[in-house]
Chain A
Amino acid sequence: MAVETLLRRGLYRDSVTLMRLAAALEARPGVARASAVMATPANLRMLAEHGVPAGGTEAGPNDLLIAVEGEDADVLARALDEAAALLEGGDAPAASVAGAAAPPRPRSLAEARDALPEATLALISCPGEYAAAEAAKALRLGLDAMIFSDNVPVGDEVALKREAERRGRVVMGPDCGTAIVGGVPLGFANRVRRGSVGVVGASGTGIQQAACLIDRLGAGISHAIGTGGRDLSREVGGATTLRALAMLAEDEDTGTVVLVSKPPDEAVMRRVLDAAAETGKPVVACFVGAVPPPTLPAGMRFAATLDEAAALAAGVAVAPADIDLPRAAGRNRLVGLFSGGTLCYEAQAVAAPVLGRVLSNAPLDPGDTLDGDPGGAHVMLDLGDDAFTRGRPHPMIDYGPRLERIRDAAAAPDTAAILIDVVLGTGAHEDPAAALAPVIGEFDGPVAIGSVCGTEADPQRLSRQEAALREAGTIVAGSNAQAARIAARIASGEGS
């Protein structure tokens, strides 16, 4: 028989704790006998009587002594390791009086990481002035970060993305409204079917529209990675887009890649297109409103609109819907009122060739910036713009201000068509059609045209929303681009 001992100086435990500890050690296979005592003279004598050579350890009454006896020294060493661990840990908190209360929610990223050690990603949607610091913490903790918050200075964005690159991590955003990773929706996101199309986008509603249309065409999404609206600017240089393309290139679930953005910086666009070609996968690039580059790398296709991009990605040919256009007699003005920035931009890109000049707070051309009263000009407003949301919830959530503008536009004698988008999904209004229907139902003269960005699996349900809008008299198109085409034709007097 061998005996191994563990002495912890100055560590006090009561006798009940020590007896339980000894019992736990004795229950281990290969441990013939175990003792755990405070090393008082009486206890040391007792151990000596049992043949435990505690002498020479200079153990005193304030020291805790553990002795285990058995045949195999390795077994005994492991038993003492367990004893040490038990001494550190105390008993596991159990269903005692103290165990009843739920643990409080973590108050910081660092604390939350301790609560969820397998965490991979921080989703940050605090006020923008604090978002960069929280993202920096996430990177320091070895996490990827998605920054939903906006109003983060571009300098902070550049610094964060540089740091992410150094650490082999990804920063999505700032102002990254949506992402879908491994089937999990992040931020404003729709419940889309899983599939083989990977989406990378600098635009939140652009990603949502592309993903929902792909879902509607029967295909599905592997991952959708948001990069933040400024990622393809000259300052940021496409840092996250390039990372995302590299990740999708390696991702086995992704067969086709869709790139979605407003027109990027020229030099950045070339770099991104080269990187997209290097993925070795079919790529559909949709830079909404941009002129297609004269030459495209092999395997890459260019889509002018999001519905075209979705069709190319899903491998489905979509015939233009053939509908009878209603006529808005004596009216010739188009008013678009949007909650999605990219949807507003896409609608302008579709309508402008038909109608000519369209004024906007987020115009295709800076010369078309709306400044004051538009007079008789066509107008499309992005109501999600900071200028409208300051101190108010986003128009996808709060329909009040948009309903007000819809009423005003409908009352104007020259309004022929009012074009709207309706965005469903997590975070959006719980029943947008119910909010819109009473207002649209009162239209006398203008035509309401809209599209719903969503899926059957979304909590608001796509088909229910579309039906309720049609019921109220809205022409509901299958996509935002189609809705814009229809609205432009009505405003140009093409209807009959």
Chain B
Amino acid sequence: MSGGLLKGAPAVLNLGVGAFAEAIGAAGGSVVDIDWRPPAGGAREAGTELAALVNHPRIEAANREAFGRFLAAEPRVTGIGSAIDVLPGMGARTVLHAGAPVAWEAMCGPMRGAVLGAILFEGWADDLDGALSLAESGAIAFDPCHHHRAVGPMSGITSPSMPMWIVENADGGNAAFSGLNEGLGKVLRFGANRPEVIERLRWMRDGLAGVLARALGEGGPIELKPLIAQALHMGDEAHNRNAAATSLLIKRLVPPALRSGADPESVARAFAFMAGNDHFFINLSMAACKAMLDAARGVPFSSMVTAMARNGVEFGIRTSGTGDRWFTAPAPVVDGLYFSGFGKEDAARDIGDSAITETAGLGGFAMAAAPAIVRFVGGSASEAIAASREMRRITIGENPAFTLPILDFAAAPAGIDARKVADGGVLPIVNTGIAHREAGVGQIGAGITAAPMGCFVQAVRALYRELAAAGEVPAA
């Protein structure tokens, strides 16, 4: 290869002084001028480690494997079951929550409120005072949904008798789970725990779940990837807009529900409830994304992000090649639009497992699909398009199953590469609802936020150590 430098005019990547790029172009050289900033948020040591991971053959091969499994996943909803029966490792006195591990003492207001509600729902205490003493006593085990193959929106609170969607990946053999969506307003996931909230949850367990289970039993599994793909063409981004997907789901469920022999009144009430909640599908969207991403987990040396989740205190991510570890940074306060009467000072920090949709290339990554809601999350249609394009900079590739009509049917970017985030400083965007910081008030706004750089810097450093231990990079 000796002499390669001198063969013809050079094609140059210019990093730093912009005037040098102009001079190269003026002299007839081809040049790209990089919009550079210090990588890894300026952390020099981490930046040096990151450099050793760029174009590393082990990581590239691992990412191809992980991303391939993700793309090949075929999530289908196959049934409904109680958390205690279907979630691996679920305990009889366990309450699951969104995000990375967080102790009761550290939980934010909405999550605490939801925990108390779940205790009442399970009948472990008679009133709120009793529920509080129980939560404080240490008799309840708290654990992330993600540790039990589940995901939950907002506080994500899931207790043993709650009904769960069962989503199976026909390709990988793994399964993922999520509860049923309660609707908007005073709901448990925002921390509400008054009697009507508990009553609704009990009906969902004792009435709604049965109708859905019988319908799925009668009609068979429903493929979720084609359904989501169709919904993207109907204006959903499958995180903050699920109106189309909810309708499509209802269309698929009504005939088998009617054929299933379920009591017509129960069927009518179930579908009236679903029809009254445009967000009903979000839990299925999340479980589908979780099933696709879990297929990509556990590939040694892969830098692909397999989960992004917030527990109301910290924003956490996991990557395929770094096992069960979470990499966390303080959760941001969402800079969004607020319903009248509320402002930033009322907001809880970013919360919920629903960023699993962005991790899978939906939500903010597919924002160009959903111009109808861009104003709701504080943007313009052209910003939405730009956002989807911007995210392609930090992904391993695109998901051909999900296409964006307004971008001439370009495939949505998918498979976040932690190295790319740390290197270029483009942060994954997350479309999100904003919860009131006090329990039970509910949603007070919506907006777009970004995953914090700190998570990705830690992930990159952990991956570096994995490679160093294997002798693939110089030891630190």
Bound CA span A14–B54, Å: 38
Q: Which residues of chain A are near B16, meaning CB under 8 Å?
A: 123-126, 148-149
CB of B10 within 8 A of CB of A115, answer no
Chain-B contact segment, one of A183-191, A276-284, A378-386: A183-191
One digit per residue, 1 when the CB lies within 8 angstroms of any chain A CB and 0 when it does not, for chain B 42-76 equals 00100110111011100000000000000000100
CB of A99 within 8 A of CB of B408, answer yes
CB of A62 within 8 A of CB of B38, answer no
Interface membership of B400, Cβ < 8 A: yes
Q: Which residues of chain B are near A142, meaning CB under 8 Å?
A: 55
Interface membership of A137, Cβ < 8 A: yes
Cβ contact of A134, chosen from B4, B51, B420, cutoff 8 A: B51
Interface membership of B403, Cβ < 8 A: yes
Cβ contact of B2, chosen from A111, A136, A168, cutoff 8 A: A168
Residue of B at shortest CB range from A135?
A: B51
B368 to chain A, nearest CB (A): 7
Cβ contact of A110, chosen from B8, B54, B409, cutoff 8 A: B54
CB of B38 within 8 A of CB of A130, answer yes
A80 to chain B, nearest CB (A): 16
Interface membership of A129, Cβ < 8 A: yes
Interface membership of A42, Cβ < 8 A: no
From known contacts A62-B223, A123-B20, infer whether A14 and B233 are also in contact, taking CB-CB under 8 Å.
yes
Q: Which residues of chain A are near B31, meaning CB under 8 Å?
A: 116
CB of B385 within 8 A of CB of A133, answer no
Bound CA span A427–B36, Å: 19
Chain-B contact segment, one of A87-95, A315-323, A329-337: A87-95
- For A, the interface residue count at a CB cutoff of 8 angstroms equals 83
CB of A94 within 8 A of CB of B408, answer yes
CB of A98 within 8 A of CB of B39, answer no
Interface membership of B141, Cβ < 8 A: no
One digit per residue, 1 when the CB lies within 8 angstroms of any chain B CB and 0 when it does not, for chain A 267-295 equals 00000000000000000000000000000
Interface membership of A132, Cβ < 8 A: yes
Interface membership of B378, Cβ < 8 A: no
Residue among A90, A115, A189 facing the most chain B CB atoms (10 A cut-off): A90
Interface membership of B33, Cβ < 8 A: yes
B172 to chain A, nearest CB (A): 13
Cβ contact of A182, chosen from B10, B15, B411, cutoff 8 A: B10
CB of B406 within 8 A of CB of A243, answer no
Interface membership of B174, Cβ < 8 A: no
Bound CA span A185–B10, Å: 10
Interface membership of A10, Cβ < 8 A: yes
Interface membership of B426, Cβ < 8 A: yes
CB of A186 within 8 A of CB of B12, answer yes
Q: Which residues of chain A are near B24, meaning CB under 8 Å?
A: 123, 184-186
Interface residues of A in 219-257 (CB under 8 A from B): 223, 225, 243, 246-248, 250-251, 253
Q: Which residues of chain B are near A132, meaning CB under 8 Å?
A: 48, 51
CB of A183 within 8 A of CB of B226, answer no
Bound CA span A15–B409, Å: 13
Q: How large is the interface on B (under 10, 10 to 19, 20 to 34, 35 or more residues)?
A: 35 or more
Cβ contact of A90, chosen from B2, B48, B409, cutoff 8 A: B409
B77 to chain A, nearest CB (A): 13
A340 to chain B, nearest CB (A): 18
A170 to chain B, nearest CB (A): 5
Interface membership of B148, Cβ < 8 A: no
CB of B424 within 8 A of CB of A130, answer no
Q: Which residues of chain B are near A181, meaning CB under 8 Å?
A: 5-6, 9-10
Q: Which residues of chain A are near B385, meaning CB under 8 Å?
A: 97-98, 101
CB of B20 within 8 A of CB of A187, answer yes
From known contacts A120-B5, A125-B16, infer whether A141 and B55 are also in contact, taking CB-CB under 8 Å.
yes
CB of B15 within 8 A of CB of A251, answer no
Interface residues of A in 1-48 (CB under 8 A from B): 9-14, 17
From known contacts A96-B408, A184-B27, A185-B23, infer whether A107 and B4 are also in contact, taking CB-CB under 8 Å.
no
CB of B423 within 8 A of CB of A110, answer yes
CB of B54 within 8 A of CB of A122, answer no
CB of A182 within 8 A of CB of B8, answer yes
Bound CA span A185–B6, Å: 13
Interface membership of A112, Cβ < 8 A: yes
From known contacts A10-B401, A184-B29, infer whether A98 and B13 are also in contact, taking CB-CB under 8 Å.
no
Residue among B7, B51, B223 facing the most chain A CB atoms (10 A cut-off): B51
A109 to chain B, nearest CB (A): 6
CB of A98 within 8 A of CB of B34, answer no
Q: Which residues of chain A are near B7, meaning CB under 8 Å?
A: 182
CB of B39 within 8 A of CB of A133, answer yes
CB of A123 within 8 A of CB of B12, answer yes
Interface membership of B382, Cβ < 8 A: yes
Residue among A99, A109, A140 facing the most chain B CB atoms (10 A cut-off): A109
A9 to chain B, nearest CB (A): 7
CB of B5 within 8 A of CB of A140, answer no
From known contacts A129-B44, A427-B17, infer whether A10 and B223 are also in contact, taking CB-CB under 8 Å.
yes
Q: Which residues of chain B are near A133, meaning CB under 8 Å?
A: 39, 44, 47-48, 50-51
CB of B408 within 8 A of CB of A91, answer yes
26 A-B contacts (beta carbon < 8 Å): A12-B225, A12-B229, A14-B230, A90-B407, A91-B408, A96-B406, A97-B385, A98-B408, A103-B389, A105-B33, A108-B36, A109-B54, A118-B11, A119-B13, A123-B13, A123-B24, A125-B20, A130-B38, A133-B47, A136-B51, A137-B51, A137-B54, A149-B16, A181-B10, A183-B9, A247-B5
Q: Identify 6 new A-B residue pairs, CB closer than 8 A, beyond the known A96-B408, A141-B55, A168-B2.
A: A91-B409, A99-B408, A104-B389, A105-B33, A141-B54, A184-B27
Closest 6 CB pairs of A and B: A125-B16, A107-B424, A168-B1, A184-B29, A12-B229, A105-B35
Interface residues of B (CB under 8 A from A): 1-17, 19-20, 23-24, 27-39, 44, 47-48, 50-52, 54-56, 74, 223, 225-226, 229-230, 233, 368, 382, 385-386, 389-390, 393, 400-401, 403, 406-411, 420, 423-426
Interface residues of A (CB under 8 A from B): 9-14, 17, 61-62, 87-94, 96-99, 101, 103-113, 115-116, 118-127, 129-130, 132-134, 136-138, 140-144, 148-149, 168-170, 181-187, 189, 191, 223, 225, 243, 246-248, 250-251, 253, 426-427
